[in-house]
Amino acid sequence: METYGYARVSSIDQNEDRQLVTLTDLGVPPNKIYVDKQSGKDFNRPKYVELIQNLQHGDLLYIKHIDRLGRNYEEILEQWRTSASSTY
């Protein structure tokens, strides 16, 4: 079992440090933290895609707030249903 973290801010001028501190405090290794500086309008984000490709059944993923995954709760649920069924 691996532990991962995901952080996202909406633009390059925003700061993700608070999210990174939280993930580090939770014990996520720095090399397992994925950060995107991009809008949450869809899931076509480079580091998010890389993260999803690396996740395996039984891995643990920390995200400081659910809104870091996306803007719409229903879209987030659908993304995870789709990702989980194709990953496992």
User: How many other C-beta atoms are found inside a 10 Å radius of the C-beta of residue 45?
Assistant: 22
- Rounded to whole angstroms, how far apart are CA atoms 57 and 66? 20
Q: Which residues contact 16 (CB under 8 A, 6 or more apart)?
A: 7, 8, 9, 35, 37
Q: Which residues are catalytic?
A: 10
